[in-house]
Chains A and B, each alone.
Chain A
Amino acid sequence: MQPAELSAVDIVAAVRQGDLSAVQCAETFLNRIEAGNGSINAFLNVDREGALACAAKIDARRRAGQPIGPLAGLPVAVKDVLCTANLPTTCASKMLEHFRPPYDADTVSRLRQADAVIVGKTNMDEFAMGGSNENSAFGPVRNPWDLSRAPGGSSGGSAACVAADMAPVAIGSDTGGSIRQPAGLCGITGLKPTYGRVSRRGLIAFASSLDQIGPMARSAADCALVLETIAGHDPGDSTSLVAGVPRYTELLEQPLTGVRIGRVPDHFAEGLDPEVAKGVEEAFAVLKAAGATVLDIRMPHAKYGVPTYYLIAPCEASSNLARYDGAHYGRRCEEAASRKGSRASDGPIAYDSPLVEMYCRSRGEGFGPEVKRRIMLGTYALSAGYYDAYYAKAMKVRRLIRQDYLDAFEHVDLIGGPVSATPAFKLGEKTGDPLAMYLVDLYTVAANLAGIGGISFPCGFTKSGLPIGFQLQAPALGEPLLLRASDRFQRLTDWHLRRPKKPVR
C-alpha cells in the first residue's frame, strides 16, 4: 500500500484496521518532505523525531487494544502561524525566527487529542500577509505544478505540501482568501469555515475579526474529516461559536437535488482569465447535472470588498503587531545599536531614548516590507482625523456586504464562482505592484468580511496544465452543505485526483 496516494479518510481507516502503521505512514510522508522540500520550500520546520515518536505511541496503543483518536496516524502539516509548544512558530518572519510558544493553539491541541501526527510547520506569507507566499522571510514556496510559479498565499506552504503529496492534510488560515486562493492555485481542496467555527486561540493574529483556521486536503471528504476534529466552541476564544459540531463526514451522502446555487454575473466581467471562466462555467454545469439549480444573483457591494478589506485588515494588524517590540520576546536589535539613542533624553519613552531606538530598530529589522506597509496603512487609517473617512466607513461597507449575502441567501443556498481571476502566476510577476497583488483576493475577501464559510476545489486545468479553482460560499454554519456539494462534485469529476506531472524528484 502506498500511503502517499491514499486519502486522509483511507489512511485513518487503514491505521485503525491495522493495515497501515502510523509509523510507516509518517515515514512515507516525512521521506517525501525530505525529498521534495528543497525545491518546493513548503516546510519551514520538519519534526521528524516528534512525528515518529507520536506515531509509535499510537501504534503501540492500537496494538495494546487501547482506544485511538478519530485522526489516529494521520500526518498533518500545520501553517506556521499556529502556535506549537514543541516547535518554533515563526509566522515566516524574522521577528519570530526563534520564538517557541509555551502552548499549543486550540486547533493543534485538538489534532493531538485526536491522535493526528504533526509532521511540521509550513511556509507562508509573513504574518499571513500576502497572496503569493513571496512575502516569507524564509524564501518563497514554489507551486508543485510549475516551480517557476507562485502557489498563492498566504497558506502557500500548506497548499503546496498537499499538492506535492508531502502531507495528506494541512491546516491553513484564511483572513481574506489565504486558504481558498492557494488551494485553487495548487489544485487542492481548501475550506474556510464560518468565522468562529474553529477557535482562534493560539493562531497568531493578523486581523482578528477576519482570521479563521481551516483544513486543506485533496478532497472535500478529507476536509470534512479534519473539520470534525478542529471545529467547536472554545471557552478561551470569546468569538468562537457556541454551536454543536455536526458529523460532517456523515452528511455527504444526500444528493444535490433542489439545491439552489447563485452565480454572480459580475464575477465574469473583465479581468477574469478566459480559461478560468470556462472551467468555472463547466463546474456550474456539473453541479446542475448533479441536481442543483443555478440562478443569477446580484451582489451590489461586492466591488467594494477589496478596498474595504484593505482598510479593516491593516487597521487590526497595526494593533495586533504592536506587541512585537523586541522587549519581551522575538527579534531584538543589537544592544550597541539601541545605545545609539540619546542618553541625555528626558525619559524612557522620549523619541530619541535608547528604548525607543531599540523598538524602532527591532521592528525595522524584524518585519518585511509588506508587513510594514500594512502596519503603516492601518496606523494611518485609524489616526485622528482619518478614522471616520477610512475605518468607520469601511465598517459601514462591511455591513452592506454582509447584507448583500443575507439578501442573496434568501434566494439561493450556495454562491458559486471563481476563486482567483487567473491561474498561478509567475514568481516575481506581481511583487513590484502591491495593488495588483491585492487584487488576487478579489473573489475571496467578501466571505471574510461577512464572516461566512467558503470552499475552493479544482474544477479543471489550463492548457498549460495549471489548476483552476472553483469557490462555493454558504451562509453562516453552512459547512455541511459546502462539503456535501463539493464532495458531490468530486464524485462526478476527477480533477482533485490529478497530481503534478513531474513528480517531485
Chain B
Amino acid sequence: MTEDSAQAIPEPVGDDATGWTAAVRRRVEKTLPISELLPTTQPSYVGSWVYVFGVVTIAALFWVVLSGVVLAFFGSAWWHVSSLGHFFNSIHFWSVQMFFIFMVLHLWGQYWGAGWRDGRAKTWMVGVVIFAVSVGTAFTGYVVQQNFDSQWIAINAKDAINATGFGGLFNALNFGQMYGLHVMLFPIGVTLLVVLHIIQVRAKGVVRPIDDPMQVAP
C-alpha cells in the first residue's frame, strides 16, 4: 500500500472501481496477466522444431516490412535500375517467399495438431484471416512491380476478378488502388492481425498434444 511500491507495480484493479478503464483493466488482468504475456518457461511439448515455423514467419514479416519501407522511399526507378535497389527488391521478394513458406508450414503443423482445441478456435480463425489478407498483399505487390511481369499479371487478373463480379470495387489495372492497398491497408492489416494472433497464443498457451493424457476435456 506504500506509494513507492504502487508506482513500481500497479496493484490489481479493485472490485469497487468503475468506468470503462477499470472494466478494460479487469478484463486484461484476467485474460492476459504478465506471466502469460511473457512466460519464462514453456511446456515440454513445445520443444519441437514445428513450433519454430511460426516464429520464422514473424521474422520474415519483419524483413518484408523493413525492405518494403525502403522500396517505398526510393521508388520503382531505383529498385529496377540501381544495384542497391535490386538488392532491396530481392530482399523484399525472397522474404515474402520465406513468409509464405513458413506460414504454410506453420499452418500444416496447426492443422494436423488440431491447434484450435480447448478454446483456441478464435486463434485459428485469425490465422486463417492472416493467410487470406497475406494473399491479397502479395497479389497487389505482384501487380505494382512496374515491369512487364506486373502488367501481364494485372491484365490476366483483371479478367479473373471481373468474372467474380468484384472488378468494380477491386481493379487490378488501377495502379493507385493496388499500390495504396499494398503499402498501407494490407500490410498494416497483416501486422495488426499477427500481433493479435500472438496475444491470442499467449493468452491461451500452446495447445496440448492430441494424445496427451492431461488434455482438457472440451
Q: Do A and B bind each other?
A: no
Which residues in B have some Cβ–Cβ distance to A below 8 Å?
A: none
